[in-house]
Amino acid sequence: MRLLALIAAAFLMACSDSSAGTAQEAGEPAALPDGQARAILASGCFWCTEADFERLDGVIDVVSGFTGGHVENPEYRQVVNGNTGHVEAVEIIYDPQIVSYEALLHHYWRNVDPFDGGGQFCDRGAAYAPAIFTLDEAQRAAAEASAAEVEARFGQPLAVRIREAEIFWPAEDYHQNYAANNPIRYQRYRFGCRRDQRLREIWGNEAGGY
């Protein structure tokens, strides 16, 4: 369970119960307008992953949610308790004329601990394992090439899995835009989790990707 999550969960319990039905129906994702594309990435806490990508030029929307598991329409508490097989992830809708998929991957690596497959930062367990979920062969090729570059740079194997995309289930409403809607609580969590400190240890001045 993430640091301070119990406090946040207690505060937001009523919201959780009333908004759990926001996940999409099973099946193919909705078609995107012309000129838009989709990416699905996991780097631990989806509050942080969402915030890390929302500021990128060319990113249209970022949705926090769950993917990779065996339960339909999972709820947050089910996922973090390890009962569904899902990981916390984000769905990124972007304009490839402004930001390429390769650029998203470059940004992703600089916001993840690529050597920790048991979770990310203070968040432990399979629900927080890092992964790149590829939607087609072009994304898989780009992901594998970017992973090879990172592995060569550090000279050690990576723990980030490259997986075929599965159904993405949006999380409850109170998880969406969490950093913007709860800035003080979010910053306390992020600092307490030592996310940025660890990223600087790995990436130095490149940490954060900006």
Provide the pLDDT for residue 28.
60
When pLDDT is cut at 50, 70 and 90, the band that residue 2 belongs to is low
Structure tokens at 165: 């995309």
Contact (CB, 8 A) for 69 and 79: yes
Percentage of residues of the chain with pLDDT beyond 70: 87
- 32 within domain boundaries: no
Segments forming the whole domain that contains residue 185: 37-206
Segment 28-35 shows an average pLDDT of 83
- 198 within domain boundaries: yes
Between CA 150 and CA 93 the distance in angstroms is: 24
- 170 within domain boundaries: yes
- 134 within domain boundaries: yes
Structure tokens at 138: 């072009």
When pLDDT is cut at 50, 70 and 90, the band that residue 125 belongs to is very high
Question: pLDDT digit string (tens) for 65-75?
Answer: 999 999 999 99
Say how many residues make up the chain.
210
Between CA 113 and CA 22 the distance in angstroms is: 30
- 14 within domain boundaries: no
- Determine the residue type at 39: A
Contact (CB, 8 A) for 80 and 127: yes
Question: pLDDT digit string (tens) for 164-201?
Answer: 999 999 999 999 999 999 999 999 999 999 999 999 99
Q: Is 15 a known active-site residue?
A: no
- 81 within domain boundaries: yes
Between CA 204 and CA 76 the distance in angstroms is: 33
What's the CATH code of the domain at 112?
A: 3.30.1060.10
- 8 within domain boundaries: no
* Set 15, 45, 48, 122: catalytic member: 45
Task: Quote the pTM value.
Answer: 0.87
Question: pLDDT digit string (tens) for 87-115?
Answer: 999 999 999 999 999 999 999 999 999 99
pLDDT at 14 over 90: no
In the sheet that 168-170 helps form, which strands lie side by side, from edge to edge?
A: 161-164, 131-134, 37-42, 87-94, 59-67, 168-170
Number of domain units in the chain: 1
- 24 within domain boundaries: no
End-to-end CA distance of the chain: 29
